[in-house]
Amino acid sequence: MQKLVVGALLLSVFSGCVSESDMRGKAFLFPQESATAYVSLIPQVKKPLQNFTLCLKAFSDLTRSYSLFSYNTRTQDNEVLLFVNKVGEYSLYVGNKIVTFKVPPKPYDPAHICVSWESASGIVEFWMDDKPVGRKGLRKGYTVGAEAKIILGQEQDSFGGRFDARQSFVGEIWDVSLWDHVVPLKEMHDWYYSGNLINWQNLIYKENGYVVTKTKLWV
């Protein structure tokens, strides 16, 4: 399995499109609305997930809905999807089922979001700016599929495609991490970049369309 992943990675590196870098201090900018600009993230390990924790920081002044993190498998749309319905209203999908959390709107600050999901209980725990927002449940007993396309900037309606400009992200995203377990979010600041599936310190990714990497504006 590991060998296959490394092999696939090497193939893509040789074909000149995959980057691997320490992104600390940097952000991806999505400067324009489009259905073509996105970043594919390649996980360090591909495995089915019974638990996960996803953290990211983002700034956008969009008031329409948009995707922050879109993880699709061949057989399941919205396998994992972090989606903003409108300012202050966030949804997490697991296996195409949805829970929604409301936070007081603060449209001109970056959002620092962490969300975890545990299959055994189905519990989703949602944190905003280092404070807990709440816990709700979905997809108890479910397993998230391993072979995924993981995309920032666009919302997938198929495996790696079917984007809609009206759900695209316009703004900046940084410090994206994904773990294969439930991280105690109270202690998150201690090990923020250490995602064992997606690690901002050692990010393997591919940019498509109009995406710009810049020094981040916010901490």
- Please give the residue ranges that form the binding site for Ca ion (CB under 5 A): 77-78, 157
Distance CA 209, CA 178 (A): 24
Shortest Å distance, C-beta 76 to ligand NAG:
18
Is 45 an interacting residue with respect to ligand NAG (CB under 6 A)?
no
Which residues make Cβ contacts (< 8 Å) with residue 10, sequence separation at least 6? none
146 DSSP assignment:
S
Q: How far is Cα 188 from Cα 201, in angstroms, rounded to an integer?
A: 15
- Cβ-based nearer residue to Ca ion, 82 or 204: 82
Q: Among Ca ion, ligand NAG, none, what binds residue 50 when CB lies within 5 to 8 Å by partner kind?
A: ligand NAG
Q: Does 44 bind ligand NAG (CB under 6 A)?
A: no
The option from ligand NAG, Ca ion, none interacting with 51 (CB < 5 to 8 A, set by class) reads: ligand NAG
Q: According to CB under 6 A, which residues from 122 to 181 bind ligand NAG?
A: 181
Q: Is the dihedral of CA 211, 214, 217, 219 positive or negative?
A: positive
Cα 86 to chain centroid distance, Å, stands at 18
Alpha helices in the chain (DSSP H): 2-14
In three-state secondary structure terms, 10 is helix
Q: 6 vs 120, which CB is nearer to ligand NAG?
A: 120
Q: Residue 51 interacts with ligand NAG (CB under 6 A)?
A: yes
Percentages of the chain per state (helix, strand, coil), in multiples of 5:
10, 45, 45
Give the DSSP letter of residue 144: B
How far apart are CB 216 and ligand NAG at their closest, in Å?
32
By C-beta, is 147 or 164 nearer to ligand NAG? 147
* Residue of 120, 146, 165, 217 that binds ligand NAG (CB under 6 A): 120
Number of neighbouring beta carbons within 10 Å of residue 12: 16
46 lies in the binding site for ligand NAG (CB under 6 A): no
From the list ligand NAG, Ca ion, none, partner contacted by residue 33 (C-beta under 5 to 8 A by kind): none
What are 207's two structure tokens? 């940019």
Among 33, 77, 89, 118, binds ligand NAG (CB under 6 A): 118
Q: What is the CA radius of gyration of the chain?
A: 16
Q: Which residue is nearest to ligand NAG (CB)?
A: 51
Residues near ligand NAG (CB under 6 A)? 50-51, 118, 120, 181-182
